[in-house]
Chains A and B, each alone.
Chain A
């Protein structure tokens, strides 16, 4: 039986984590067909589903970047240790979010028992920090990996466009991964120290933005949190686009970073002022 043979290439741990997050996403999809219970007005399975999808995107992005680093960095103790720490954080976060949701209990902003308070206030907060700090470590690796940069230059000279990171993509990864840490710390830890994610009190039947569940009636800090987290995809994509167009000036990615930061902080202030992203 061919399926039972040893995988010819040992998958990177980041690929394994992406696959595991995908499995959790499948689990939440079948859950969504069978459970009509609500927590704070939203389906119980919505948060586990959003987090599973988030982990697929997070580890998938890191796996793509890691594949473009030099073996010395990829197999070094720093990145290996970072991936193990992030794996533990994912297991704790998803484990808690799913078991709470299955009991019809909130996982965030829930201090109802000492266990819930410690899990939310300490374990989840620390896990979230490990995850975004891990992203920043990969940004540092991309910045300092001289061997991969030299290889990219050789690949470009040989017109091998697919193999490694172009200069603008590298800039996008460095800026994007670093700013993900900074912006997420600002937005998520403000969010975490509030009573809930709303600024203002929405009516029980107030409109929300479909799919995301953000309030369309009162202030909500989650749109800013969303942009902050996805800086790590947005800026590398800008860099990739610049490289594909044949390269650009060195200021272009930093300029895009400034615009992205302004947008994120703009939504953050908008939320803090009690204004919804869009009023529906």
Chain B
């Protein structure tokens, strides 16, 4: 199988995980673990296999932009990097969804924040953390009058 085939194959479970995170109900353990653990773990196994097989032959490490470019000039390492994104973004997305649930952020507001984590990782994390933090601090935490 070529790196090209594997990109498509690894995108599919990641997309499925994001669909669960965005649309499925929460609070059922078997469903919650799919985006939080099962799919990230599968992608992590794939990453481990790729990086063990191809890191050394790509040449270059993490020390400078030139070395990183050299590393990713290998299609196999580029694929590994992409799988790394898929695995970590989904895992972080699930963790942020859990945090937002615990801060009682409504799902309608969670959805665009999670889409931002899906597309732009850390940018969405900033949105999630500031939204959660602002809700937990006065004056917003003092706006009670909640009935449920």
Binding site for B on A (CB under 8 A): 3-7, 9-20, 22-24, 26-27, 30, 63-64, 66-67, 71, 74-75, 84, 87-88, 91, 95
Contacts and interface: CB of A to CB of B under 8 A. Distances in A.
15 contacts: A7-B102, A11-B104, A11-B105, A11-B135, A11-B140, A11-B143, A14-B143, A16-B106, A16-B109, A20-B127, A23-B131, A71-B147, A75-B147, A84-B108, A91-B111
Contacts of A6: 102, 104
Q: Is the interface of A mostly helix, strand, loop or mixed?
A: helix
A17 B109 contact: yes
B131 A20 contact: yes
A26 B130 contact: yes
Nearest 5 A/B pairs, CB to CB: A23-B130, A19-B134, A10-B146, A23-B127, A23-B131
Q: Is the interface of B mostly helix, strand, loop or mixed?
A: helix
A249 B132 CA distance: 43
Contacts of A15: 135, 140, 143
Interface in B99-127: 99, 102-106, 108-109, 111-113, 123, 126-127
A23 B134 contact: yes
B144 A9 contact: yes
Given A22-B131, A23-B126, 8 more contacts: A7-B141, A13-B106, A15-B135, A16-B105, A23-B113, A23-B128, A67-B145, A74-B147
B52 interface: no
B127 A12 contact: no
B136 A7 contact: yes
Nearest to B98: A4
Given A10-B146, A11-B140, A15-B140, A22 B130 contact: yes
A5 B129 CA distance: 15
A84 B106 CA distance: 10
A27 B127 contact: yes
A20 B113 contact: yes
